[in-house]
Amino acid sequence: MVLMSSDLTAHADDAELAARIAAAADREAETELFRRMAPRIRLFGLRRLRNEDAAADLVQQTMITVLKALREGKLREPARIASFVLGACRMSVLEIHRGGRRRERLLEQFARDTEAWQMPAPPVLDHHRLTRCVQRLKERERAVVVMTFYDEQTGGDVARFLGVSETNVRVIRHRAIHHLRICMGAAA
């Protein structure tokens, strides 16, 4: 079997992609690295910033920083690319909080590159199926997940509402998530 260039890129590990970008600003490797890292950065951003638009900004800003550093040969050990992206992510969050001008300058400088990046679509749940799955949970499990993810109550608040310990709330929550993942068709 003959592997095409794009197949080789898809099969390359993260360190190989980083090395190719550092060596020759390889556009195909850059696109593949973006495809892999964008969902991870998005989740990192969603968890901290609780906003899809802000998370999308974080993806763009972080990847610009990473690619700029790779092209300039600033990452000495390509094997550490994941840690490097994570570090850039943390710095970008601070930058977003500060609303810094550096971000705007980078966006202008890398405008042509960012046009080519397509944000991978996040997983889409079958909403009707989720409705059925949530309704099938035990009453306490349903209450715990709704209180956790909608009411945004602390473990202590949920524990008081249910009249159980916080440890017990954690157990109920994990059991509920497990049931939901299985019901939604995920591998256990």
The answer to whether residue 56 forms part of the interface with other proteins (CB under 8 A) is no
Q: Other CB atoms closer than 10 Å to residue 80's CB: what's the count?
A: 15
Using the rule CB under 8 A, give the single segment among 25-33, 94-102, 108-116, 118-126 that binds other proteins: 118-126
Using the rule CB under 8 A, give the single segment among 23-31, 64-72, 102-110, 144-152 that binds other proteins: 144-152
- Is 176 within 8 Å of 145 (Cβ atoms)? yes
Using the rule CB under 8 A, give the single segment among 65-73, 102-110, 111-119, 173-181 that binds other proteins: 173-181
Buried b (16+ CB within 10 A) or exposed e, 7-40: eebeebebebbbbbbbeeebebbbbbbbebbbee
The answer to whether residue 70 forms part of the interface with other proteins (CB under 8 A) is no
For other proteins, give the closer residue by CB, 91 or 111.
91
Interacting residue with other proteins among 22, 33, 66, 173 (CB under 8 A): 173
- The CA-atom distances, in angstroms, between 146 and each of 1, 140, 153 are 51, 10, 9
Dihedral angle computed from the Cα positions of residues 41, 7, 21 and 58, in that order, rounded to the nearest 10 degrees: -10
Q: How many residues does the chain have?
A: 188
Residues that bind other proteins (CB under 8 A): 14, 36-37, 39-40, 43-44, 46-47, 82-83, 85-86, 89, 122-125, 127, 130-132, 134-136, 138-140, 142-143, 145-153, 155, 157, 160-163, 170, 173-174, 177-178, 180-181, 184, 186
